[in-house]
Amino acid sequence: SFEPYAMNGLAKVTTPEGFIGWVDRNGKEIVPVINTEVGEWTEDGLNWIKQGELYGWIDVNGDFLTKVIYNAIWPFEANNLAKVQLGEEFNWITKEGKTISKKGFTEVGEWTEQGLVWIKQEGKYGMINTEGKKVVKTKYDTLSPFNEYGVAKVSIADKWGWINLEGKEVVKVNNLQAW
């Protein structure tokens, strides 16, 4: 099948076998018709594709933003990062296709308004910023969400304390309880 041309000048084509790609107004294949699933083009000309069981990102010129290696991908967020899963680990990619951290994470949360996200690495929790820099070292057994005062409850070996948005312990982690 052949769909109408999108704002980017490309038309999605699908073979009878279900493979998908895009052609330009001259009929030139821009994105090869080898994808089993595709997303919608973003305003800045990016799209996700699936080949077999793996995902990747491409641009409107048909160039690969990433290799098609991810087990799962998520849309780009307002912070211009998209979550990806490679094997059992999560990370985020930029719109240039670079991961923000060299090492992936076994669990991740959602981005906060302050541009932070909790991560779990080697069994411990911490937080990173949008550049992948650890703002809160991965040393905590638990890490609660930040409250309206900008502090989060943390624990290490059944001792509790509180950290602020800069990752500093505002109440030292040596208490039997923390409210």
Question: What residue ranges of the chain have pLDDT lower than 50?
Answer: none
Contact 101, 87 (CB under 8 A): no
The per-residue b/e assignment along 4-32, b for 16 or more CB within 10 angstroms, e otherwise, is eeeebebbbbeeeeeebbbbbeeeeebbe
> Tell me: the pLDDT tens digits for 119-134?
999 999 999 999 999 9
Instruction: State how far the Cα of 10 lies from the Cα of 3, in Å rounded to an integer.
Output: 9
pLDDT at 178: 63
> Tell me: the pLDDT tens digits for 7-26?
889 999 999 999 999 999 99
User: Which two tokens mark 151?
Assistant: 């502090």
pLDDT at 131: 96
User: Does the pTM exceed 0.75?
Assistant: yes
pLDDT at 4: 79
The one-letter amino acid code at 75 reads P
Residues of the chain above pLDDT 70, percent: 98
